[in-house]
Amino acid sequence: MERMLRHLRETEDKDAILREMMEKYGKEIWHYAYLMTRSSDAADDIAQDVFLKAYRGLYSFRGDSSLRTWLLTIARNTALSAIKTETLRRLVTLRLIRRQPHRNGPSAEAEFMARHATSRLWRIVLGLPRKLREVLVLEAHYQMNQTEIARLLGISPGTVKSRLHRARAQVGSRMKEETD
Could you tell me if residue 69 is inside a domain? Answer: yes
Condensed to tens digits (0 to 9), the pLDDT of residues 36-56 reads: 888 888 899 999 999 999 888
Answer whether 0.75 is exceeded by the pTM.
no
Condensed to tens digits (0 to 9), the pLDDT of residues 157-180 reads: 999 999 999 988 888 888 778 776
CA distances from 3 to 16, 22, 38, 59, 164 (A): 14, 16, 34, 14, 33
Q: What does the CA dihedral 53, 56, 58, 59 come to, rounded to 10 degrees? A: -140
> What is the domain range of residue 112?
108-179
Do 59 and 6 lie in a common domain? yes
Condensed to tens digits (0 to 9), the pLDDT of residues 99-114 reads: 444 455 566 666 666 6
Local confidence band at 5 (pLDDT 50, 70, 90 cut-offs): low
Do 64 and 114 lie in a common domain? no
Q: Show which of 68, 84, 100 is a domain's final residue.
A: 84
- Which CATH number do you get for residue 161? 1.10.10.10
Do 9 and 80 lie in a common domain? yes
Based on the structure, what is the number of domains in the chain?
2
